[in-house]
Amino acid sequence: MKYHADEERYNRMKYHRCGKSGLKLPAVSLGLWHNFGTMDDFETMRQMCFTAFDLGITHFDLANNYGPLPGSAETNFGKILKEDLGSYRDEMIISTKAGYDMWEGPYGSGGSRKYLLASLDQSLQRMGLEYVDIFYHHCVDPETPVEESMMALDAAVKQGKALYAGISNYDLEHAMQAMEILKELKCPFVINQIRYSILDRWIENDGLKTFANKSGCGLIAFSPLAQGLLSDRYLHGIPEDSRIRKSGRFLKESAVTKERLEQLEALNEVAKERGQTLAQMALSWVLRDGDVTSVLIGASKPEQIRENVKIVEKTEFSEEELRRIDELSKAVTK
């Protein structure tokens, strides 16, 4: 049956201006980092995309190496676009990235003009698109001048293959360099995608969060649930079907200590008092002060997206709630 988007979708989401640009992003965006790969169920992917769009999530975030296998998330999403969502293309923000390892040899990773522009061409082909809305450099490459990487993003925009430029995983020092270069090039730079959560507040300590607010740079937060720690999945130990058990690549079993579990339980009590799940509170907290434009969620089933979108009406916190969360976030340093 042909998909038709819910007519009430834009009444279910809030949209925030991305920095000082004219672009608006939904408060909640869908990331395709996990569960859109070669071994995942395609029908579940379709239903997650439909559910997200029906709830007003217009932003779908990808990267060249998302899968596994690398490239498979873009291929699967491209198939969904072709078969179901293509007629809504102008209502969607589609982003992709290049920076981490993608193919073998000296031109398959990093920040060179060679790699970034070749990767974007491949991404567009996999998704069946003429352009993406945002093209990111995925990470700082210490072996490539920031200027070269930014000039590659500028070239992608001027070639019509991207509407906006973005950076990801850039700390304050490199973000300032990138913004200055793109400003001189008159390239529409709009956003820095960064890791941020109650348990990972490095952008506050680095000064990046304050800088972004003052300079008009949008921020979009990934891993807002700290790889699942800030959910009910780990409140009573490590479940057998958890990400730790499956791979342990990004979240190690050693991270789930007795002290960590006590911290999570205390945070969960704050969430209950707010009438939220721990995951919902963690997402709301990222959006609490307006500095972060959008929060990226991942999902393995449509129900998770429905639950997470409920946060859009509850991102305000009392001073007492923020004080308690601050104290608890600092309780475990490792």
Is residue 271 domain-resident? no
- Identify the CA nearest to 55 among candidates 11, 4, 2: 11
- Identify the CA nearest to 284 among candidates 14, 24, 11, 19: 14
What mean pLDDT is predicted for residues 124-140? 98
Percent of the chain with pLDDT over 70: 94
Determine the structural domain holding residue 121 and report its residue range. 9-228+286-315
Six token digits for residue 176: 């300032």
Q: Are 94 and 51 in contact (CB under 8 A)?
A: no
Cβ atoms within 10 Å, residue 334: 7
Q: Give the length of the chain.
A: 334
Is residue 160 domain-resident? yes
pLDDT at 331: 77
- Whether the bond into 224 is cis, omega within 30 of 0: no
The tens digit of pLDDT for each residue in 137-177 reads 999 999 999 999 999 999 999 999 999 999 999 999 999 99
pLDDT at 327: 96
pLDDT at 240: 63
Is residue 203 domain-resident? yes
Q: What type of residue is 39?
A: M
Planar angle of CA 82, 86, 90, nearest 5 degrees? 150
pLDDT at 248: 54
First to last CA, the chain: 50
CATH value at residue 128: 3.20.20.100
- Identify the CA nearest to 156 among candidates 142, 125, 135, 179: 135
pLDDT at 244: 60
- Identify the CA nearest to 127 among candidates 155, 102, 104, 161: 161
The tens digit of pLDDT for each residue in 101-126 reads 999 999 999 999 999 999 999 999 99
Mapped onto helix, strand or coil, the DSSP state of residue 37 is coil
Is residue 265 domain-resident? no
Give the model's confidence band at 253: pLDDT under 50 very low, under 70 low, under 90 confident, else very high.
confident
pLDDT of 36 strictly over 90: yes
pLDDT at 232: 87
Rounded to the nearest 10 degrees, how much is the dihedral formed by the CA atoms of 244, 249, 254, 257?
A: -50
The tens digit of pLDDT for each residue in 63-99 reads 999 999 999 999 999 999 999 999 999 999 999 999 9
What mean pLDDT is predicted for residues 3-23? 97
pLDDT at 257: 85
pTM above 0.85, yes or no: yes
Q: Are 85 and 93 in contact (CB under 8 A)?
A: no
Q: Between residues 239 and 289, which one has the greater pLDDT?
A: 289
Give the model's confidence band at 330: pLDDT under 50 very low, under 70 low, under 90 confident, else very high.
confident
CA dist., res. 30 & res. 299, Å (int): 8
Mean residue pLDDT across the chain = 94
Give the model's confidence band at 251: pLDDT under 50 very low, under 70 low, under 90 confident, else very high.
low
* Cβ neighbourhood burial of 82 (10 Å; 0-12, 13-18, 19+): exposed
Q: For strand 218-222 and strand 189-195, is the pairing parallel, antiparallel, or unpaired? A: parallel
Percent of the chain with pLDDT over 90: 88
pLDDT of 182 strictly over 70: yes
Is residue 30 domain-resident? yes
pLDDT at 256: 78
pLDDT of 289 strictly over 90: yes
What mean pLDDT is predicted for residues 277-286? 98
The alpha carbons of the chain give a radius of gyration, in whole angstroms, of: 19
pLDDT at 17: 97
Domain count, the chain: 1
Angle, helices 319-329/258-274, rounded to nearest 10 degrees: 170
SS3 letters across 82-139: HHHHHHHHHHCEEEEEECCCCCCCCCCCCCCHHHHHHHHHHHHHHHCCCCEEEEEECC
